[in-house]
Structures are given as C-alpha cells and as structure tokens.
Structure 1
C-alpha cells in the first residue's frame, strides 16, 4: 500500500468534513498523534481501525485505501483476520454527545487517568479485569448525553448531564458502577485466560499442567460468573481455583461447587 496516497486521501477527506485531528481522533478512538502520523505517511492504522475510520469519514474502505479491488477479497490471511476482528462488537463502548468532546480530548492527552482509576478500583475491590474501553463521540446523541454499551447493546444512558465542574466525574463513576454491576456480561473466556495467566505468574504450581488441560476456561468462567451474579468478589482467585480443583477431583458438579463457593463468600 502507498503510504503517501493514503495520507493524502485521509487529510483531504478530514478537511472536507471540517474535522480537526483531535476531533477525528476522538471519533475513531485513537490519539491525535496517531492521526498526525497517518496524515504524514509515517505509519498506517490497523485494519480494525481502518474500518472505524472509513465509517467516520463516510468512505468505503476501498475508497479510503484507494484500492482497485475489495480488501475482503485479499488472500492475505492476516488481513482477513484483522478485518473479521473489525466487525466484532467491542466488549465496552462509551459513546458521548458533542458537549463532552473538549473534556475527553483533555483526558485523552493525559492518558485517560480517570479510566485508569476505574481499572484500579475494579481490580482492588472485586478482582475484576476491565476489558478495553472504546470511547467515541456520537453526533446523533444530545450534547450532554452519554451511553455505556456492552457488545453494542446499551446498558446505561444518561441525558442532560449538568456538571458541577468541567471534569464530568459522573461519566467514569457511572462506568465503574455499571461495569461492576453487570460484570458477568463482560466475562468472556479471553478475560478468564488473562486472569489465569496472571495467576500463573504468582502461583505456577496451581496452574501449570492443570489449566486448561484438566480444568477448562469454560468451567472456570461458569464458576466465576456464578460468584459475580451473587455479588461476590473474585479477588481471592487463588483460593477459588484451588477449591474448584479439589472438589472436581471428588466428583462434584460445577453447580454444587459454585453454590458452596457462594456460601463461603470468597
């Protein structure tokens, strides 16, 4: 692909839509620095970002890339895999009205410290690992409306937010509350694997040779979801896994083990 042709196309279309680099970055969910590099022909976005970029710029991916044939017809397996990922729903999306753009640009420049604090709080309080949060502005929303979506489904919406200051703490406070309250909807098996991988670094004997060979991620997911649905913390993951392993050996079923763990209040 010709970097300079792509850069020229991107710059021209952004200017035609009268978007600043900062505004485009927020709509795509990247930093303004990334947009700048793309427009200077220094680098290219991943294909999943190209998909979002083409939507924002009202172009097909072929038009954006100035390709003679469709990218979906490529024989490149890596391209096909990335394109498939692009059409999958994001675990968490935070959509905001235009009234929040300046605030989120400031947060973006600082590395989203409030979002990072949400991650820390959820991990410390409940043992929850927060998936990547894609933050996008949406011109179809009222200026001071925001939505929290899980896999493209709205789980929370607030309209006409009247901030007491320019910091809008309510957005990230609500993100924390919503993700914590409905975490069982977010707990897919990749997150379970990530939790187990982290556990393995601290307690290798507990994991190595047992997970996932004898104890599958699906079984762990079932038990963790049961605990979360009953508002139990999974911070003590080491003890949860150990209890699960010990009782499976005794021939107990997952439902019985889950109920026992709920009563034990790990």
Structure 2
C-alpha cells in the first residue's frame, strides 16, 4: 500500500532541495498551500490528476514520488485516460486505491471481481474504497455458513441489503443467533418490524432478548405489557431493563384498570 508518510517526506525533501516554498508548489499546482502542507505531513495524498504535474515540479518521476513501482504503471495509464485498464489482484488494487477517484475505483474493482473469486478477507480490504451498493453486490457472491462473519464489512454494506440478510436468516431459523453482529447496523424501526414478524411464528420472548438493546422502547414496552397480560411475567423479566419504568407502569395500569394505584 502507498505509504503517505514516506510520500510526504519525499515531497518535503525534494521541495526543499529545489528551494521551493509550499506556497510556490501550491501556486504551480493550483491548490492551497495547506494542501501541500497536509501532503508533506502524511495526512492526505495528492489527487491523481496532480501527480504528473507534481512530479515534474519536483523534478522526479512518479515512481520516485510514490516510492512504489507496483501500481505506478496503472496510475500513469489512468492519468493518460487510457482504456482497458485492469488490476489483477486485490493487493494491486489496494496499492493505488487511496489516490484514484471513486468512479475509477468502482470500475477497476468490478472488472477485477468479474475475473476472479475473492475471499471475505479480501472484500474487507476493498470496503473503504467502494460504494455501499457495489460492496453489497460483491458480498452476495461470498460463501459463508455464518452471516456473523460479515461483521468486518457490515459498516460498509447497504442497509437494505443487511435487512434482507437478517430477514432471510430469521425466517429460516426463527432465531437471531446467526446475524447478531449485523443488528447494530440497521435502523431500530426496521429491526422492530422483523421482530414482530418473528413473533407471528414464534411467540417465545427469549428469542428477542438478544436484540432488545437495539429495539425501539415503545415496541418493547408493548411486548412486555402483552406478555404480562397473559400471565407471563417471568418470561419478560429480562426485557424490563430496556423499558422505561414510567411508561411500563402507566401501560400496566391502563391495561389492568388499576384505578386505585
């Protein structure tokens, strides 16, 4: 992977060697001197469209500037807007991803995935550089017996896709066990709908206890009160900590008409 710290040092050292100020480099590139300063501190990378011009200003090759020969050929072809640009492996993609435009990243990644199967670990490496939609499409082709293994990429996946996975798993198993790691990444209202659907086929309260911390309090309160009405107080004890006591007391009073309380 491109090392921003090393690249920043190369930019700084070469600029000083040529007796140029950050402002002078910035003016030549049409960027702010703060941008140049950020590059030299290794906090950000120059845009790919600036690499060719920057290398000429610093009087070094792009190879020398990036301190990396593996991805330079592809980068130069992207700069020249050449067609039929491909990357052969995830490692090769990761080398150049930090400095290429998102649109180019999407195209190169899709071309690569079409030609080869990638593992979940490799997909996790691609995640920061792809859109939710693209990553979700790739994830559909990953074979796994336990959806909890997708936790490493869950923050980058489209919520609709996560909901689809959770609904399918819960429908098949009447349990949240195989998808617990995905629950924090979906909206609580969508989770509530899944829970209520599960309860149509499996009314056992212990099924929803693991996901209770992620549910809407109002939904949980209704479930708790409903179970208490059935005389199943012991079954809902584990849910009580997630329900506002005032709301619970009020609803219990209303349901049981405890006027004197």
Asked whether the two chains share a fold, i.e. TM above 0.5, the reply is: no
TM-score with structure 2 length normalisation?
Answer: 0.29
Larger radius of gyration: 2
Which of 1 and 2 has higher RCO (CA within 8 Å, sep 6+)? Answer: 1
